[in-house]
Structure 1
Amino acid sequence: MRFDDRLKTVMTQPVADAHDRTVRWRQLVDLLSRPHDETDPALLDAALTMVRTGMKGVARATRAATARSIAGRASDPRLLAIFASDRLEVAAPLLAAAPLEGEDWALVCQAASPEVAAFIRTIRGEVSHAVPIADEEAAAPAETEIREVETPSIGEMVARIERLKHRRDDPGAAHGMTVQERPAEMPIRAARLFRWECDASGQIGWVDGAPRGALIGRSLPADEGAGPALARAFADRLPFDDAPLHFPAPALAGDWKLSGVPAFSPVDGRFLGYRGVARRDEGDSGVNRPPVPAMITPDAEALRETIHEIKTPLNAIIGFAEIIDGQYLGPAHRTYRTRAAEIVEQARLLLSAIEDLDLAARVQRGDTAPSIVNIGELVQELVAELSAEGRVRIEVQPPAGSAIVEADQQLVGKLLARYLKALSIAAGEDAPVRVNLARSTKNIAVTASRPVSLAGCSEAQLLDPSFAIQGDTSSTLLGVGFELRLVRGLARLARGELSVGADQLQLLIPLSQS
């Protein structure tokens, strides 16, 4: 059977449900990753379109597995461009092994999402990064900005984090002074107009005239609760003018009017995204907006940008290690594969911790919103997950009354997950951990008796990030001290506390964030 016949057969096979669509999508990707120089161009274009449009209905884990399976084999830049528009964990192994030349890389960069574009610059510094959707007038500032963003060394990133920590610990912050009361080292000016660009999925990748950290990575219109007019324009690839939009970020808080025009590739007419401008709604002068609280400082925005700079090389490390572990470019000795698997595991642990810091930065910036959270149900779900992983047996005593709080659900989820994980690491194979939930007039208390391995340890020891339990092999990188230190930091962000007693650990979560 010829390639054309196989491609046509797969494209025309009936699909009854999501499973069938996923199977067809994987078969199309597999066929398109093979040589097809003599294929009918119209048929090839139709197949690529089916892959591009069908990607949204395929689970991320399946997309990532498919990308790894064709790594080193796929050479069609149009297929690689489709994967480049996806998340970095999906695209990294495929792009790291891509056998492309300069012009082909330019096409891939043009379609790449912001985090994938940064990854490509990291692994192939000689590839010039084409701005995805800009004319000559708009391209200049974007290119200038890209040249300014250099990949920092590990030492530079550590030094930057230390500077941020010292600024957070200054006397003004300690005494609860507001941003307006503190010395104006980095004044925050209220933006009235800014220019923006987003990719085909609506994710903002370039901003001029407004704080980048408040906008980069946000999705239009999905994340912002946009009106039906803007959503309809995006769906139909139509221009829009003065579409109302509300930004929750403190630096841009208020109502805005967005105008944008769609951009299409001059090569194949493919939709690339939108570019446009945003103007503050004249009816929203900003006078009635609530004052910015003390913890929303320029440091929070700088910290978030630093976090993104760390995540890019870390994702690259994960991608390369997965290539070795999966032998996608050829056989590798068992020793190398074992080491690569360890690197993937440890890098993912670091990535998880960095994502917690990213969440903390967003909380400090005021980008999150409280919701109703049932602490009792959440604890039971997390305990079931830990038990399924075979970590340890945790016995939960539910509260006498309700265990519902008003808080940011993601923050509370991370907080409880870290807390229970620290307990499981400390308990090991000893007696089961007993956790008691109790409600007071102000808090929900999640109390656990100290595991035997933590007996006699002072509070300073337990909260030392380098503290690890002797003989513990379950966590080779981030020990119980790191977990508890992170728990306390997240608890304080939620206006709660982690207290260390002589025979127990107690996590306090306030009933309300207000």
Structure 2
Amino acid sequence: MSVDGGKTGSRAARTIDLRSWARALRPERAGGGMREANPPARFHDGNDIRQDYPPNDRRAEVVARPSLERLLARARAGLIDEAHPFFLVSSDGRFVFANARFEEILESNEGGRFGPGVAQFGEAVGDSYRRILDEVLLTGRTVAFDEWIEVSGGRRCWRGHHFPVLDERGRIEGVGAIYVDVTREVIERREAIRARRRFNDFARASGDWFWEIDREGRLRYVSERFAALTGTPAALWEGRYLWEIAAPKSQGDLEAALREAIAARRPFRGVGFAMEGEDGDERICQLAGVPVFDPEDGGFQGYRGAGIDTTLAAREAERRRDAQRHLEEVLETLTRKNLELDLAHARAEAALKAKNEFLASMSHELKTPLNAIIGFAEAMGMEVFGALDERYKSYARDIGKAGRHLLGLINDLLDVSVMETANLALDLRPVCLAEVIAQALAFVRLRAEEREITVEAPKRVGKLKVMADERRLLQILVNLLTNAVKFTPAGGRIGVKLRTDRRKGVVHVIVWDTGIGIPAEAQERIFEKFHQLRDSVYSHRNEGAGLGLHISRELARLMGGEITVESEPDKGSRFIVALPLAAASS
């Protein structure tokens, strides 16, 4: 910005037009570009700045020489362009000049605005730079400001020093800015701060305390942990000898040990001494330290090290010894209890083995006559041995029914016994669901019809196959369908549905009914052995030993599946058998 009203007078008293000066700083360049040729800078009175010399002055003659003038212009341009990045802004906020170095920054900046926030001379500066300009104009002081820019080589930090440009009367005509690349300095400072914080965090978190001394043994640093231990601020220890931290009775020994180590420039460890703690109690501590040498010239600088309060360690050691003794007593008791448990376990295993052997033997002994009884009852019902009146035929049917029921109970007990010993062998192979479901429905259909219950088969089963033991899968479905018939009132419905999750490779076989349902609190207990809820769906008013659901779930799990139940009282039940889908099943 020019100052209007400049008067002609001595050279020192004249006011320089800032824009004219800026033009003078921008010599003509080949190829054009941001800067262009401009006439020589002049004072407001119109005189050429370069020819402002007294009459007959030889310098005026030299300046008048065209060749020398061009040489000086090139030299001046070279000095300006090769200096630090530099630009000028007039006091009314116009971007008036930038040297080549600053232009290079503007051209390489990939992250948007930088410096004055504009790229063309004569433009008003951006809002961000307006704040800096206003501060310089208001205070008259230099303002330093860091700016990060994105360039092809990464992010760079430039520190701009924004200073007032004054006329000869001390008035601010504009603001100049010189930029210095401080990327390395800023990064190193950040790393130093981060390292210092990291060290302080370690020092605070550590049970030890840290110190640093000079070549004479005077403390230059002691961590806050030591201040907490002694009750004296860390700053008050700085400048005192390290051995002064010791109690009077051990101060001499500590000084001698430390002076010997310092003289020899050798590390030391386990140097013990007594000191007075914050609570006034005597505390036993130890010091360890290593000598520090200048990385440049190898000169000895002092020591750095750590101290530890071994009083606390001793107390902790005593607590550990007490805990060890207590642990040994507990272990002795635990060992004795484990021996008792091992003995009880051995007895239980022996009892279980005896029970299983008994069940296996008794099942064989019971099944043989039962099969005979069932066979004779069926023969009598069929009048194989001669005609019977209706009353005796009814007796024969009841005998056969009771025999088959008892045989089913024996088979259930035998299955439970085998599963408990993990000796149940399964023949897992792809099984056609349609065939197994059809067999299971046929098994219960007659009984369902007797109770006027509708049986519904699944639709579109196709050739869907699961990995299962076919006989055991049929056993599961028959158990579930039998229960559905058993606990569904006349006029109700039962059936089977399928749901396939090919993403998870699972088929859900859903056995449903419209029966009286199962309370939520009983839905897990019904899978327990011998469990029958009184006054509920699985009560003793229905036949059975309470093993069917337990056996079914265990069999499903052995085949890699699961059985769950969804039910509400008076709304029926859904028993969901999840089984792995066989490969290439359609």
Using structure 2 for the length normalisation, give the TM-score: 0.31
Q: Which has the higher contact order (CA 8 A, sep 6+)?
A: 1
Structure of higher CA gyration radius: 2
Bigger share in strand: 2
